[in-house]
A and B are shown apart, each in its own frame.
Chain A
Amino acid sequence: MLVGPNGSGKSSLLRLMAGLIKPATGNLKWCREEIYEDPENHSERLHYVGHQDAVKPALSVFENLLFWSSLRNGNCENREATKKALNTFGLGHLEKVPGRFLSTGQKKRVDLARILVSPAPLWLLDEPTAALDKETITSLESAIDYHCTVGGMVVISTHSEIKLPRHQVINLAGFSGTHIE
């Protein structure tokens, strides 16, 4: 879990881990392999949830989610898994509602459901709880907990309380202004 004041570099660190930006110096390794050697392989093993929710206003909640899942799974539409992911975050009843009618929190939930439809070992969540209600935070906590029990990794940046049974907190405030060689 990454904590620290605004501007301390939490989002940048997550984007760095996702391979969206490249470090000025140093490198990033996964199982002793440089990730920039094979960026496609790296992006296949991670899910990134950023500040924007990537929900298309013209598509329904279900279609939005189905697109991301079929992009991951090579065009086979996994309707069952998509439905299940929607229900996890209490979106089952909104399935057919177009994205433009959703509230900020609901869009965030659609975005979070995306990480459940296709498996990936590494989850990078950038302030996932920002717009969520208590109930959804609880479902997210249990989803993260389950993901960790089956051997997955999660990196979260947050300002609010997320209850997780075992986690390591890294305070980025301590690193501000330092230059690590």
Chain B
Amino acid sequence: MNGFMTILKRDLHLAIRQGVDSMTVVMFFVLVVIILPFGVGPEPNILARIGSGVIWVAALLASTLSLERLFQMDYEDGSLELLSLSSVTLEVIVLAKVTAHWLTTGLPLIITAPLLALLLNLDKESFSILICTLALGTPSLSLVGAVGAALILGARRGGVLLALIILPLYLPVLIFGVSAVDANVNGIEARAQLLVLGALLLTALPLCTWAAATSIKQAIE
């Protein structure tokens, strides 16, 4: 637990010092959502209908942006090797780094989402549901992304490879995230979808932590 806090603190510290990373993610998210109406036309009805989908897809793409650096920096300067030599287990290290990643990228996305929903003329009653789905979904994205980030360690042009590996894995989160908001817009209770999102998160938590730790072990050897 102590090791978890120490690593989390350092990663947050680093993220704040190098604020560019999380700012790029948020700016990318905002830009994608703003650019879309120029492509599909500005009719309020169309935008309201596709709004939740657009926000979710933009969130997926934005979160892949920063994932490449999740372990890469520590891998390149030898810190990851030393971290693995500390008494803290690799699983805890992965969990601490994923938590830091979510706090610096996932959380800002959730905070900006209502503003973008407003721009897309999304039904006001769906705002809270949208936030709920993002709050349950983005930690899963960071966790699944961590597996990809660990797998590309040492690979050249890892960023593209990373997107290819993890975007298909993001599908379940995307499907239930969007359908929860849609259900709410159509006056159906979205409880089931939210429960599935929660279940996905609970499954990803041990599975992805373990998978990422194992592939880091492979990368270090």
The chain A residues found within 8 Å of chain B, CB to CB, are: 18-22, 40-41, 43-44, 46, 48, 50-56, 58-59, 63, 67-68, 70-72, 74-75
Contact = CB atoms under 8 A, between A and B. Distances in A.
B6 A63 contact: no
Across the A-B interface, the 7 shortest Cβ-Cβ residue pairs: A52-B78, A75-B2, A58-B17, A54-B79, A54-B78, A74-B2, A43-B85
B40 interface: no
Interface residues of B, number: 25
Contact of A71 (B17, B76, B78, B86): B86
Interface of B: 2-3, 5-7, 10, 13-14, 17-18, 76-79, 81-89, 220-221
Contacts of A72: 86-87
Given A59-B17, A71-B7, A74-B2, A20 B220 contact: yes
A135 B92 CA distance: 40
Contact of A52 (B2, B81, B87): B81
Interface of B is mostly: helix
A150 to B, nearest CB: 22
Given A67-B6, A71-B3, A75-B5, A56 B79 contact: yes
Nearest to B75: A52
Contacts of A58: 14, 17-18
Nearest to B79: A54
Contact of B6 (A19, A20, A43, A75): A75
B143 to A, nearest CB: 23
Given A20-B221, A40-B87, 20 more contacts: A22-B221, A40-B89, A43-B84, A43-B87, A44-B87, A46-B85, A48-B81, A48-B82, A52-B77, A52-B78, A54-B79, A56-B10, A56-B14, A63-B13, A67-B6, A71-B3, A71-B6, A71-B86, A75-B2, A75-B6
A56 B86 CA distance: 17
B7 A56 contact: no
Contact of B77 (A48, A56, A63): A56
